[in-house]
Amino acid sequence: MVCSLSPVRPKPKGGRQPVPDRAALTGIIFVLKTDIHWEDLPAEMGCGLGMTCWRRLRDWQAAGVWARLHRVLLERLHGADKLNWSRASLDRMSVPAKGGIGSRPESDGSRQAGRQAAAAARTSLGKSG
């Protein structure tokens, strides 16, 4: 699936053939699951060098492959009625909060601005001081 979502790379003109996407994906998953260093990726796995897998990971991230893969997996799981939404969670990095930072006045970072903002908040709540 990742292979079909990955960007098309130009064919090399001579030199070594590129590592197939599936082999690179195997190496990427192995490194991320085992928490080894990229340079410690065993050559016996046939995934190419660790740096090759790291570069492919970087390139796929820049091309949006992982976001597309996530979307495709969610769509397929939803279509097969295999998603358990009762176990889903959101965090502030994935979904902006309504009435969050965007609705607050911009701060210049000074203490005076902070004091003024706190005083304004107390006033709006009907408190003095």
pLDDT digits (tens, 9 = 90+) for 65-120: 999 999 999 999 999 999 888 888 877 777 776 766 555 555 555 556 666 666 66
Do 58 and 45 meet the contact criterion of CB atoms below 8 Å apart?
no
Query: What residue ranges do the domains of the chain occupy?
Result: 2-7+17-84
pLDDT digits (tens, 9 = 90+) for 27-73: 999 999 999 999 999 999 999 999 999 999 999 999 999 999 999 99
Q: What is the pLDDT of residue 64?
A: 92
Sign of CA dihedral 111, 117, 119, 122: negative
Sign of CA dihedral 32, 35, 36, 38: positive
